[in-house]
């Protein structure tokens, strides 16, 4: 093992780094304070066969929070269960109540089992659901059928 090089910074460089860190902290604090009081927003529920992802946005579509069943700690086939979706909603509900969000527009996409349980969980948590919209893509016409088999 060789000697390790230690790079010493001058005082000017240390002060510059401190100022940039403070500026970033101020920007983050401003962003959080700007999103503090949000009374209404949209909830996007993406329920696939493998997972359920729930995203909370404000009216403009700027993402405030998101959580998936996998990020909570569920793994494998348990991620796509209604129980995992309801636990994800419980985690989001705590964050949403801190910023004062009450009125929700729910947009559901996908065919997974977490669709209905997530909507029910939001209503059980005390939120006002103004509308529920299903934007699951549905194929129309589909691919060309196979040729008739000749023997």
Whether the pLDDT of residue 31 is over 60: the answer is no
**Percent of the chain with pLDDT strictly greater than 70:** 77
Q: What is the phi-psi region of residue 36: left when phi exceeds 0, alpha when psi lies from -120 to 50, beta otherwise?
A: alpha
- Domain count for the chain, please give it: 1
Whether the pLDDT of residue 12 is over 80: the answer is no
DSSP run (H or E) holding 19:
helix 11-34
User: The whole model's pTM is what?
Assistant: 0.70
User: 49 is in which domain, residue-wise?
Assistant: 36-134
Indicate whether 12 belongs to any domain.
no
Strands 40-47 and 103-110: parallel
Confidence of residue 151 (pLDDT cuts 50, 70, 90): confident
Indicate whether 99 belongs to any domain.
yes
Indicate whether 26 belongs to any domain.
no
Indicate whether 74 belongs to any domain.
yes
């Amino acid at each position: 093992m060789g000697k390790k090089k230690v790079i010493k910074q001058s005082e000017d460089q240390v002060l510059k780094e401190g100022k940039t860190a403070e500026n970033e902290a101020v920007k983050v604090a401003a962003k959080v304070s700007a999103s503090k009081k949000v009374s209404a927003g949209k909830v996007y529920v993406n329920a696939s066969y493998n997972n359920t992802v729930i995203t909370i946005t404000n009216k403009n579509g700027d993402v405030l929070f998101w959580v998936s069943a996998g990020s909570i700690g569920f793994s494998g086939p348990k991620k796509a269960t209604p129980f995992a979706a309801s636990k994800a909603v419980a985690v989001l509900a705590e964050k949403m109540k801190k910023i004062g969000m009450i009125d929700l527009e729910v947009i559901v996409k996908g065919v997974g089992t977490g669709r209905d349980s997530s909507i029910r969980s939001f209503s059980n948590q005390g939120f006002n659901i103004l509308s529920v919209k299903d934007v699951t893509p549905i194929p129309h016409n589909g691919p060309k059928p196979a040729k008739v088999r000749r023997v």
